[in-house]
Every structure is written in C-alpha cells, then in structure tokens.
Amino acid sequence: MADELDAVAVRAMLLQVCTRMIENTDRLTEADQAVGDGDHGIGMRRGFTAARDKLEALEPASVAEVFKTVGTAVMAQTGGASGAVFGTLYRAGATACGDHALDAATFLAFLEQGLAAVQKRGGAVPGAKTMIDALAPAAEAARAAQADGLAAMIRAAADAAQQGVQASRDMIATTGKARTLGERSLGHPDPGAISMQIQLAAMQDYVAGQRED
Amino acid sequence: MADELDAVAVRAMLLQVCTRMIENTDRLTEADQAVGDGDHGIGMRRGFTAARDKLEALEPASVAEVFKTVGTAVMAQTGGASGAVFGTLYRAGATACGDHALDAATFLAFLEQGLAAVQKRGGAVPGAKTMIDALAPAAEAARAAQADGLAAMIRAAADAAQQGVQASRDMIATTGKARTLGERSLGHPDPGAISMQIQLAAMQDYVAGQRED
Amino acid sequence: MKKLINDPRSVVPDMLEGLATLHPGHALLEGENVVLRSDLPPLPERRGVALISGGGAGHEPAHAGYVGAGMLSAAVTGEVFTSPGTDAVLAAIRAVAGADGVLLIVKNYTGDRLNFGLAAELARGEGIAVELVVVADDVALRDTVEAGRRRGVAGTVLVHKVAGAAAAAGLPLAEVAREAREAAAAVGTMGVALGACTVPAAGRAGFTLGEDEIELGLGIHGERGVRRTTLEPAAAIVGTILETILSDAAIAAGEQVALLVNGLGGTPPMELAIVAAEAIAQLRARGVHVARAWSGNLLTALEMPGCSLSVMRLDALRLQRLDAPTSAPAWPRGG
Amino acid sequence: MKKLINDPRSVVPDMLEGLATLHPGHALLEGENVVLRSDLPPLPERRGVALISGGGAGHEPAHAGYVGAGMLSAAVTGEVFTSPGTDAVLAAIRAVAGADGVLLIVKNYTGDRLNFGLAAELARGEGIAVELVVVADDVALRDTVEAGRRRGVAGTVLVHKVAGAAAAAGLPLAEVAREAREAAAAVGTMGVALGACTVPAAGRAGFTLGEDEIELGLGIHGERGVRRTTLEPAAAIVGTILETILSDAAIAAGEQVALLVNGLGGTPPMELAIVAAEAIAQLRARGVHVARAWSGNLLTALEMPGCSLSVMRLDALRLQRLDAPTSAPAWPRGG
Ligand SMILES: Nc1ncnc2c1ncn2[C@@H]1O[C@H](COP(=O)(O)OP(=O)(O)O)[C@@H](O)[C@H]1O
Ligand SMILES: Nc1ncnc2c1ncn2[C@@H]1O[C@H](COP(=O)(O)OP(=O)(O)O)[C@@H](O)[C@H]1O
Ligand SMILES: [Mg+2]
Ligand SMILES: [Mg+2]
Ligand SMILES: [Mg+2]
Ligand SMILES: [Mg+2]
C-alpha cells in the first residue's frame, strides 16, 4: 500500500470524489430541502461535473495543481454558498501541498489550511450547522492519526466527518438559508456536512482500493 | 279577487319580486357557477336591492312608473348581462302599460313588449339557453290565457317559465359566458331563466295572496 | 380562499382607493368605480377624443393601468368579472367627454356590450357624440361561434394603445374609431390556463384541473376553455396556439406583426419569457417578422396561472401608434 | 409541477434568451447568464461607475429588469434561487468596468456574499476598482439573528435605484457606494406568504400551508418564514408588518418615507393595491409622511402568493435619487 500518492493518483482520487458527489445529487437535494432551499445537490453536481471535466483534461504536474483545479472549477461553476465554500477548501488546501506528493503530513495541512480558509471566508464557527461541523472534526481526527500514515488518517477523518454529520442534527442553523428555520432545523443533518463526508469517504475508498492492489 | 292591480298594488307585487330575488342569491350563484361565471346571484341581489330601495321611496303615480323604476334601478346597478337584460325587460315592458291599471291585457303587453326589446337588445334567440327560454314560453302561455283574467294569466306564465327552465337544461349555450362550454353546458338550467321564473312566481304568489283577502 | 383583502364585498373600492393613491396621474370619480386621468384638460374643446374602456374588475392592471396621456381617459370597473352597470359608464362618459366626443372600447361580452351600449345611447340622448368599438380577438372560439361572437381578451390592450395614439394625434372621433376597429380586426389571441382563479365573493375556484391537465382557449373570467388537454412543453403549446391564430388571420411569411405574451396573473415572468422566446423563434421560422414583442401581466384573470398569445398584423401607421409615447403606468416598456 | 417551460434544466438560459429579445436595451454576455446594457458607452472613461447586481434566478423582474440607464449596468443570474458562481460575476465585472470602477450590490445571503466577494477580489487582482455593498433589509429576522446577518430582500430594488441615480449623476465610486450603503441602512422589509413556490428543477413546492395558514417573515427563495399563523384581514397583517419595520428603524411621526408593496409573484395587483391602500392609511395614521409609494411584482419568488412591505427613510437627496429618470424596464412608473 502506497502511503504516499503522486499527482496522477491524487487526480484519480479526486475523480472518484467527483463521481460520488454526482451520484449523490438526489440525497443532497433531499437534505437541503429539509433544512435549506433544496439546491445543494444540483449545485454540487454542477460544480463537481465541471471539476471532473477539468481533471480529465489535466496532465497533472503536481498534487497542488490537482487540488487547485478542483477548487477553481467548483468555485467558478457551482454557485450558492457551497460553491464558494468547497471551492475555497480545495484552493486554499492546495497551497498546503507545495511540490510534495500527498502524504499524511500534507493531507493534514490540506485539511487544516482548508478549514481555516473556509472559516475566514464564510465567517461561520463550529456548531453553526455547516460543512465545518464535518470538516473540523475530520481535521482534528487527522491530527490525532498523524503517526498512522495516509490511509489510516483519511479513514479517521472520514469517520469523524460521519460523526460530525450526525452531530449536526442537533444543531440549530445560524448561517445560510436554513437559519430562518431556527429550531425547525433541528433533527435534520446539514447538507454541506453530508457533502464533506461523502468527499472524505470517496477518498478513503480510493486509498483503500489502492491498498488491495 | 282583484283582476286589476293599481299602481300601489303593482308596487307591492314588485317589492315581493325584489325580496324573492334577494332571497335566492345563493341558488342563482350556484346555477351560474355551473354554466357561467358565478356572478348572477350577486348581480341580481345588487340590482333588485337597488330596485327595492327605489320602490320603497316611490309614491307611484302609474303602473308604468313602477315597472320603469324597477327597470332603471336594475339596469343602472346590476352590471353583467342580466342587468341590461332584466333592466330592458322592465323598462320596455313599462311602456306597454300607459296610464292603465294592470289587467290581463296590459300584463300580456308587458311580457310581449319586454320580450321583443330583450331580443332586440341582446340579439339572442329562443333556444340559446337564456332567460328568453323562460320569458318566451311565459308570454306565449299568457296569450293563450288571455281570456282567463290577470291571476290565471300570471299563473300560466309562471308555470310556462318553470317548464322553460327545465327545457333549458337540454340547450347548448350559444351566448353569454357559458357559450364557451359548448356541450359541457348541457344538463344544467340557465341561471337567467331561473331568475325569470322566480320573478313570475313571486308575482303569482302576490296575486294569489291578494285573492285570499 | 386565501387572499390579502379586508372584505370580499369591498375588494373593488378598496383596490381603487389604493390604485388612485399610488398613481399621481389618476383620480377617482366620486361615488363611482371609475378611474380618470387627473390631468384632463379642463377646457372641453382641448380634450380631443376621449377614450373609455372598462369591464369587470380582476383583470388588473387592466383597465385603470391604461389610463394616461396617449391611452385611456377613463376606466370603468364593475364588480369582479362582472361588467359595470349603465350608471357607472354614463358617469364616466359625462366626466371625460369634451367637444370631440367619446370612444368606448368594449370587450365582446354580452354584459359589457349591453351596458356600454345602453350608456352610449343615454349619453347620445344628452347630446354627447359617442362611438363604440367592440374587440373580439379570441380565436379559440373560431370553431364554436361565428366571428362576431368571439370574446374580447388581451388584444384589447393593443387596441387601447392604437386608439389612444390616434386620439393624441388629434384625429376626429370617426377616424379614431376607424383605427380602433381596424386594430381590433387585426389582432388574434388565444390563451392557455394551468389552473383556475378564485373570485373573492365566490370564495372558491371556478373549476379544477388535474395534476397534468391544462385548459386551452379559456376566457379571462375563470370560465372554462374550449378544450382540456395534457400539459406539454412550452414549445408544443406555443405551436398549437400560433397555428390557430396565424391560420385564422391568414398571416403569411413576410408579414409584419406585434406579439404580446400576456400573463393571466399567476404565471411568473420566467415562464412568460420562455414562452416569448419560443413564440418569437416559431414566428421567425415561419418567416413572419416580429417588429415588436412584449411579455407581462397586461390583462389578467386574478391569480390564474397561464398566459395568452396575441398577434397583431402591422402596417407602418399601426406600428407608429404602438410606438407613440404614453404615460399610462401599465403600458410595458421596451418592445 | 405545472409550468410553461421546455426543460427544467434550461429555464435560466431559455428565459434570458426571451428577455434579451424582448428588451432592445439589453444584451446577453456570450457564454454567461449575464444581461448587459446594450447602450454602454464604448469608451471606458465615459462609463462612470458601473453597477452590477444579481443572484439566483426566480426573482424576476429582478435583476435583469433593472438593467438600464440610471440603474444597473449588468445583472448576473445564477440557477433558480442559487447565487451565481464566481466566473459569471467576474465576467460581468470585466464586461462593464470602465475607468471609474464597479459597484456590486449584493443581497445578504452567504452564497451571494461569497461568490460576489470572491469575484471582486479576483477583479481587483486584475486592477479593476470594485466596491461591494450588502443589502440586509429583512427585519423579520430581528429577533433571530444579529443585524448584519439579516437577509436582503425587496428593499434591494430601491438601493439599486438610489445607487444608479448617484452613478448617473457622475459621482465617484466611493460616493456611489456610500449612498448605496446609506440607502441599504435606511430600508426595512418584511414579507408574508400565503403559499409556497416550486423550483422547476425540484418539481415540488418547498413547503405547504394549511387552508387558513400564512407564513410571516418568509424569504424570497421558498424558504420558510419565521412564524406560521392564521390568515387575517389585510389590515391586521399590514399592522403587524409595519409595527415590526417601524419599531426596528425607530421611524417616528413627522418622518418622510417611501413605501414599496412588493408582490412575490402569485398575488394579483388587486390584492397588492388593497394592501397598499391599507399601508398608506396606517402610516398616515401614525403621522409618517409617505412621499412615494409603489405596488407591483418587483422582486419575486417565482409564483409564490404573498407580498412584502418595504419602508425606506428619506431625505431630500434620496428622494431625488428615487425620482431620477431610468430606462430600466421594470422600474415602476408613478409613485
Ligand atoms: N458560512 C458558511 N461556512 C461554511 N459552510 C457554509 C456556510 N454557509 C453555508 N454553508 C454550507 O453550504 C451548505 C448549503 O449549500 P448550498 O445549498 O449549495 O448553498 P445555499 O445555502 O446558497 O443554497 C450548507 O449546508 C452548509 O454546509
Ligand atoms: N343576449 C342575451 N339575451 C338574453 N339573456 C341573456 C343574454 N345573455 C345572457 N343572458 C342571461 O343572463 C344570464 C347571466 O347573467 P349574469 O351572470 O348576471 O351575467 P354575465 O353572463 O355577464 O355574468 C344568463 O343566464 C342568461 O339568462
Ligand atoms: Mg441550498
Ligand atoms: Mg354570470
Ligand atoms: Mg359576469
Ligand atoms: Mg441556494
């Protein structure tokens, strides 16, 4: 099992992310219909379809370029809060990668720098029922799994994101369109958190698949 | 039993007509909802309420004046096709009365001249599913009952109008808002025909009540 | 019934009070449901031909929205979907008539024709010159009734504009009436409803449609249409309607027309714009030159979802009338 | 879902094609859902401050209808109820920016703020002077969130007008932005929905309301409001809304305001006029001077039935800005 991924492998991993996000359009639509305005699934499909098209045309020179390609396409084409938010995550995260291959330390830096940029850009804090409530625990779990290598770190991050999605059920939305719902948003998970979790799970599955080779 | 009604009695008879028309608002609304636009009941209420108010304030000098008062108020205030149609009936019918008291000959002239004026004004022919399909048989029956005196003539007219209402069920509307329904108007009586019948029945009841005195 | 009103029985005066307050160019005629231009020249000989239209309420912005310089002098409003009685029409005629007489523009419904016609007779009896033009543009009824009995629908707004511009140009009554009549003869309209509307006093919808049903050739009073069918894409509906209008009027390639996509109240501008794009493309494909086009809620049926298409044949003069300026608040900009 | 469309996935470009064809003063930016003034001065130094607004589609006539001399230079449209991505905004900025820079007027939704904000940063990186003004006029959220997180709703149209007139007056970017910010701070809005609306791509309504239920303080995206309550007469609903707006802004007797009664799409002009009459009467009864008032569908939520009231505090300059001429097709006449 590779405990490091080169740019071509990262491209393959992010293509898997794109595919999963596109496949989950309906699930994300339903989640956003419950607490938001119902456009999250279609927006993510638009953004990650654009990202997939860009990735497929890309001869990646670096890991950073791969992440940045996804971030730029998602930001440019998605629209909505999530386009800017996930675009920012991948674009800011990309700057953490430098020229390295993707290893555990780089992946941790990706998550932490991405998280910081998303918080700065959108102004939301943990507990506000956003994708941050999946991303922040994921980054925390990744830091705790620092010594365990890339595959284990991604698995830990994906698991933590999944728990973050569950925890977001009990949060009251104070940002985004769901905020007017106040207590009515209780009981439903945050759509963007689900998206974050799907993306990390796709990465985990890709890396796990790699290991079986 | 009076086989002649003076202006004061005709005023009382037409007040009864007004009251009955106002009482039947809902029935007329429902009839017009089935084949038209649903405003016939409210329109008739508006017109005959105005007529009642005018009649109550009237010191009638002649039968003609009483009929004309009703026609003018209905025409001015009702709106819709029926305001012009029933207004025309009473106004044109009034000119048949001259200075006479209302007797059988005058009542026949009232119906026949009113009918002629309505047909001229509105351009509808018998069988077009309008109030003419109650008024025309009423006038015909009145002519047949010419020798029987006023009370019998009104009863014959009212009965014929009632049969006209029934017959109008089998007619296809070719005028008024119901005309777009085409065959869909089949099976429902014409609202204006019902109104005509109610007015004649109110007159009949008034005259019958007179007789019992 | 869910409506933002105070009392179903007073919707018309309540509305007119709001409209008159909102439009500085409008005034109410005391005691009648009549909206007047507040800037009518006081001298009767300066007024030119005065134009009056009207009919039942519920068609807003028609007809009060078309009161203004270059269009109507007055709009007479009956109860919802009910033509006004003769008193209101006569009062409007008396209020706006100047030395050059009055043209009444009437949609072809028995009630409107009779009440405006009776009022015209009464006014003539008072020495006022009155002409009456009946608009009967609804081609949906072409197979059902003879041409003279078609209903008057959205094309009426274009007739107001043509006649208003002719009057503003200083033409005499007979000439204004002639242009109005020709304009009325030059326009064909057909509508489609996706649902019904609720007259406040009735409290419930005039008809119901199934999930996928639409009603072709409906009127503007919540009355049913001529054919019930299944919802299709806009392109197909537009095709059916245009085919009916164009073949009825025998409009051929090379001719010049104006197009009006009129919303019936409940259909948002997005759908009207999509229908307009479709209609313009189909007309062009047939070689018909669309010189002017508008979409918007110009003559409605309360909150009914649906729309109508009107196609008016143009010549140079009629195009000039449509382009002439007006201060009427509801006449659409652009084109 | 019953809509007059061809394909739920292409409603935005289909609509824009129609709008651009219908309005001679408008042009589409190649490859983007952006409407531009077709009469922009070609020389960059002649353009003055360019104004851009936008957001999700479904709010028509906003925002394309406000493109014209005296209002916006461009309107950027996302998918229905979804803010546009950064590419479209950036392309609009590049297309209209002249020597005097660009003001972005953004409704306070996370997506709009983020996407317009990111595009502004990218444009500044290219040397274009860009300022961004956020409108957050929805007072319905006053008890729920801090002032800066209120949503931007119908008051935005008045901000466009003020800023557009300031730009047309030749003021520099900083001054135009200042007037826009002050206008945004001076307006408060609150809405009521009588029903929901259906996003074409979703195919079903965002929420449902019972026979007698209304939703107070709803947003303009089919998202739910802050309180569900029972239908009352217009007078009571207007009272509740005005009380919230006036007390939030501490508008007192003797002050001068503009009133906007904005239809959300499915409510006919009749009801809007009744609400307007009611609101004007209640403001007058409080001693507030209503200098200007409009009613109409100015910023909608597809076919949602309901309306919002906006009250903007006026001084002489702001009144002058509202009265300044504009060729934008959707700016209402009268007032
Ligand atoms: N300020 C924010 N910071 C981080 N994430 C946010 C923020 N605002 C919204 N989100 C995320 O975006 C998701 C909604 O995305 P989407 O539906 O595409 O956008 P919109 O809310 O504009 O309709 C939310 O579920 C939330 O996770
Ligand atoms: N041309 C006509 N001649 C005689 N009666 C008519 C004519 N047109 C309509 N009516 C009568 O008027 C009735 C409808 O009246 P009403 O509902 O008040 O008017 P509207 O049809 O304008 O809504 C019809 O039922 C019919 O009897
Ligand atoms: Mg959303
Ligand atoms: Mg009727
Ligand atoms: Mg009627
Ligand atoms: Mg959204």
Instruction: Give the tens place of pLDDT for each residue, D75-122.
Output: 999 999 999 999 999 999 999 999 999 999 999 999 999 999 999 999
Taking residues A128-147, what's their average pLDDT?
Answer: 97
User: What pLDDT is recorded for position A185?
Assistant: 73
Q: What is the mean pLDDT of chain D?
A: 95
**Residue closest to A122 by CA, chosen among A187, A174, A159:** A174
C123 CB-near residues (< 8 Å, 6+ apart): C90, C93, C94, C97, C102, C130
pLDDT band at B213 (very low <50, low <70, confident <90, very high): very low
Give contacts of D199 with chain A, Cβ < 8 Å: 37-39
Taking residues B22-47, what's their average pLDDT?
Answer: 92
Instruction: Give the tens place of pLDDT for each residue, A19-29.
Output: 999 999 999 99
Which listed residue (C59, C63, C160, C221) is catalytic?
C221
| C147/C151 Cα distance (integer angstroms) | 9
Give contacts of A29 with chain D, Cβ < 8 Å: 202
- What are the residue boundaries of the structural domains of chain B, listed by start? 4-210
Q: Under a CB-based contact definition with an 8 Å cutoff, are residues C89 and C115 in contact?
A: yes
Question: Per-residue pLDDT for B210 more than 80?
Answer: no
Q: D81 and A39: CB-CB below 8 Å? A: yes
Question: Per-residue pLDDT for D164 more than 60?
Answer: yes
> Which H/E stretch holds residue C28?
strand C26-28
Chains B and C: how many Cβ contacts under 8 Å?
112
What count of other Cβ atoms lies within 10 Å of the Cβ of residue B188?
A: 21
**Residue closest to D150 by CA, chosen among D85, D222, D226, D56:** D226
Active site residue ranges of D: 221
Residue found by looking up tokens 């974050």 in the block: A196
Q: Under a CB-based contact definition with an 8 Å cutoff, are residues C310 and C262 in contact?
A: yes
Beta bridge mates, C277: none
Q: Which residue of C has its CA nearest to B88?
A: C118
Residue D216 main-chain phi, psi, to 5 deg: -90, 145
Residue A45 main-chain phi, psi, to 5 deg: -60, -45
Question: Per-residue pLDDT for B185 more than 80?
Answer: no
| D158/C41 Cα distance (integer angstroms) | 34
Which two three-digit tokens encode residue B151?
Answer: 């009370």
Looking at chain A, the whole-number percentage of residues with pLDDT higher than 90 is 84
Instruction: Give the tens place of pLDDT for each residue, C119-143.
Output: 999 999 999 999 999 999 999 988 8
Judge if the beta carbon of residue B164 lies within 6 A of ligand 2.
no
pLDDT band at C237 (very low <50, low <70, confident <90, very high): very high
Q: What is the mean pLDDT of chain B?
A: 92
Q: D83 and A80: CB-CB below 8 Å? A: yes
Q: Do chains B and C touch (3 or more CB pairs under 8 A)?
A: yes
Dihedral sign, CA of D296, D302, D307, D310? negative
Q: A39 and D151: CB-CB below 8 Å? A: no
Taking residues D152-176, what's their average pLDDT?
Answer: 98
Which two three-digit tokens encode residue B165?
Answer: 């209402």
Question: Per-residue pLDDT for B1 more than 60?
Answer: no
Question: Per-residue pLDDT for D145 more than 80?
Answer: no
Q: D269 and C61: CB-CB below 8 Å? A: yes
| B43/D189 Cα distance (integer angstroms) | 40
Whole-number Å distance, alpha carbon B176 to ligand 2 midpoint, is 6
Taking residues C241-255, what's their average pLDDT?
Answer: 97
Taking residues C18-40, what's their average pLDDT?
Answer: 95
Q: Under a CB-based contact definition with an 8 Å cutoff, are residues B85 and B118 in contact?
A: yes
Protein residue closest via CA to atom 18 of ligand 1: A40
Q: C110 and B184: CB-CB below 8 Å? A: no
Asked if B25 is an interface residue toward chain C (Cβ–Cβ < 8 A), one would say no
Dihedral sign, CA of A49, A50, A56, A59? negative
User: What pLDDT is recorded for position D298?
Assistant: 98
Helix/strand/coil percentages in chain D, nearest 5: 35, 25, 40
Instruction: Give the tens place of pLDDT for each residue, C78-114.
Output: 999 999 999 999 999 999 999 999 999 999 999 999 9
Looking at chain C, the whole-number percentage of residues with pLDDT higher than 70 is 99
Which two three-digit tokens encode residue B142?
Answer: 């009145």
User: What pLDDT is recorded for position D226?
Assistant: 81
Tell me which CATH homologous superfamily contains domain A4-210. DhaL domain (1.25.40.340)
Cis peptide before C26 (omega within 30 of 0): no
Residue C171 main-chain phi, psi, to 5 deg: -70, 155
Which two three-digit tokens encode residue C147?
Answer: 């041409």
User: What pLDDT is recorded for position C289?
Assistant: 98
Q: Do chains A and B touch (3 or more CB pairs under 8 A)?
A: no
Q: Three-state SS for D54? A: strand
Distance from CA of A39 to the nearest CA of D (A): 7
pLDDT band at C293 (very low <50, low <70, confident <90, very high): very high
Give the max Cα distance, chain A.
49
pLDDT band at D276 (very low <50, low <70, confident <90, very high): very high
Q: Under a CB-based contact definition with an 8 Å cutoff, are residues A115 and A135 in contact?
A: yes
Which two three-digit tokens encode residue B145?
Answer: 């009952």
User: Which whole-number Å values give the CA distances from A30 to A24, A77, A158, B145, B185, in the listed order?
Assistant: 10, 21, 22, 76, 45
Distance from CA of A212 to the nearest CA of D (A): 39
| D133/D125 Cα distance (integer angstroms) | 19
Q: Under a CB-based contact definition with an 8 Å cutoff, are residues B155 and B204 in contact?
A: yes
Q: In what order do the strands lie in the sheet with C74-80?
A: C26-28, C34-37, C74-80, C50-57, C102-107, C130-135
| A137/C195 Cα distance (integer angstroms) | 50
**Residue closest to D295 by CA, chosen among D277, D320, D321:** D277
Beta bridge mates, D193: D215, D306
User: What pLDDT is recorded for position D144?
Assistant: 74
ipTM rounded to 2 decimals: 0.92
Residue found by looking up tokens 């930001």 in the block: A75
Between C209 and C245, the higher pLDDT residue: C245
Distance from CA of C222 to the nearest CA of B (A): 7
Instruction: Give the tens place of pLDDT for each residue, B72-100.
Output: 999 999 999 999 999 999 999 999 987 77
**Ligand 1 pocket by Cβ (under 6 Å):** A 32, 36-37, 39-40, 43, 80-82, 85, 118, 122-124, 130-132, 175-177, 190-193; D 83, 110-111
B14 burial class (0-12, 13-18, 19+ CB within 10 angstroms)? Answer: buried
Question: Per-residue pLDDT for A178 more than 60?
Answer: no
| B167/B199 Cα distance (integer angstroms) | 18
What count of other Cβ atoms lies within 10 Å of the Cβ of residue A156?
A: 22
**Residue closest to C102 by CA, chosen among C92, C114, C87:** C92
Where does chain D show beta strands of DSSP type E? 26-28, 34-37, 50-57, 74-80, 102-107, 130-135, 187-193, 213-216, 227-230, 256-263, 289-296, 306-313
**In degrees, to the nearest 5, what angle opens at C-alpha B73 toward C-alphas B68 and B79?**
130
| D181/D186 Cα distance (integer angstroms) | 9
User: What pLDDT is recorded for position C221?
Assistant: 81
User: What pLDDT is recorded for position D208?
Assistant: 84
pLDDT band at C144 (very low <50, low <70, confident <90, very high): confident
User: What pLDDT is recorded for position D317?
Assistant: 98
DSSP string across D178-240: HHHHHHHHTEEEEEEESS--B-TTT-SBS----TTEEEET--SSS---SEEEE---HHHHHHH
Among the bound ligands, name the one nearest to the CA of residue B175: 2
Taking residues C181-207, what's their average pLDDT?
Answer: 91
Instruction: Give the tens place of pLDDT for each residue, A73-101.
Output: 999 999 999 999 999 999 999 999 987 79
Question: Per-residue pLDDT for B212 more than 60?
Answer: no
Instruction: Give the tens place of pLDDT for each residue, D17-52.
Output: 999 999 999 999 999 999 999 999 888 888 999 999
Asked if A78 is an interface residue toward chain D (Cβ–Cβ < 8 A), one would say yes
User: What pLDDT is recorded for position A177?
Assistant: 60
Give contacts of C224 with chain B, Cβ < 8 Å: 180-181, 184
pLDDT band at C146 (very low <50, low <70, confident <90, very high): confident
